[in-house]
Amino acid sequence: MGGGNFSPGFASILRRAIQAEARIVEPSDSILVQRWKSGDRQAFTLLFRRYQNGVFAFCARMLRDSAAAEDAAQETFLKAHQAIASLADGNAFRSWLFRIARNEVLMALRNHRTSALESAESVWSDDDPHRRAISEEQRTILQTVLDQLKAEYREAIVLREFQQLTYAEIAAATNSTESAVKSRIFKARTALASRIRTQFQ
């Protein structure tokens, strides 16, 4: 008897639940890239908001300077906007974006005389770790030892641990191979762990 009353109510609950679900599920990178390519400004804004912290954090951890990181992040998004038509696979957006960010970082490092990509032997960077403007409360022992890593090790471990990129994505972003990425991450971890150990002793 109550079935007639129940089912429209249930249907509306269901409809509302589905609508709520639709609101929660965010469009994938590749869908947004598609919309962005066809001139949808909102799609660009959504992707910008999705990745601005990641790109900024990557630049900041690489450059150790908030202002330089903001400049690099801005250039990254502007260049991405100019070049989006050249991105064939929207699923590769993340690694493509970090590749642009990395180029900006390397350019900034080069301009700062301190290219940390020189001598191949050591894991540690030769440049001065005191030139940095990231605020003190954001600094930890980890960040301090991270700062001492050479750029090629730092970028790999930062993209892995803070941005959760896969080895394949890191290889694409850093113009490298998966096995090189695997080895760099391993060496970076070994070096970080040992330095953290000595800092505590």
Partner 1 sequence: MTCETSRELLSALFDSELGHDDQSELFAHLGHCPACRDAFGELLALRSTFCSTEQLTAPASLERRVMTQLRRQESASILVTLRQWLMARFTVPAPVAVAAVLLLILGTLLLRPAARNGNGYVYVPVLPEVEVVSSPVINTPTHP
d(CA 88, CA 26): 21
Give the nearer residue to partner 1 in terms of CB position, either 23 or 49: 49
Tell the smallest beta-carbon distance from residue 175 to partner 1 (Å): 19
Tell the smallest beta-carbon distance from residue 118 to partner 1 (Å): 24
Give the nearer residue to partner 1 in terms of CB position, either 30 or 144: 144
Give the nearer residue to partner 1 in terms of CB position, either 19 or 179: 179
Tell the smallest beta-carbon distance from residue 59 to partner 1 (Å): 9
Tell the smallest beta-carbon distance from residue 148 to partner 1 (Å): 15
Query: What residue ranges bind partner 1 (CB under 8 A)?
Result: 44-45, 48-49, 52-53, 55-57, 60-61, 66, 70, 73-74, 77-78, 81-82, 134, 137-138, 140-143, 160-162, 166-167, 182-183, 185-186, 189-190, 192-193, 196-197
> Among 122, 124, 127, which Cα is nearest to 108's?
127
Q: What are phi and psi of 149, to 5 degrees?
A: -75, 150
DSSP string, 127-142: S-TT---S-GGG--HH
Tell the smallest beta-carbon distance from residue 78 to partner 1 (Å): 6
Q: Look up residue 178 and give its two tokens.
A: 């998966």
What is the length of the chain? Answer: 201
The helix-helix angle for 151-161 and 93-111 (nearest 10°) equals 150
With the C-alpha atoms ordered 120, 151, 143, 167, is the resulting torsion angle positive or negative?
Answer: negative
Answer yes or no: are the C-beta atoms of 72 and 105 closer than 8 Å.
yes
Answer yes or no: are the C-beta atoms of 157 and 146 closer than 8 Å.
yes
Give the nearer residue to partner 1 in terms of CB position, either 87 or 196: 196
Give the nearer residue to partner 1 in terms of CB position, either 30 or 143: 143
Give the nearer residue to partner 1 in terms of CB position, either 13 or 78: 78
- For 167, the 3-state DSSP assignment is helix
Residue type, 111: N
Tell the smallest beta-carbon distance from residue 185 to partner 1 (Å): 6
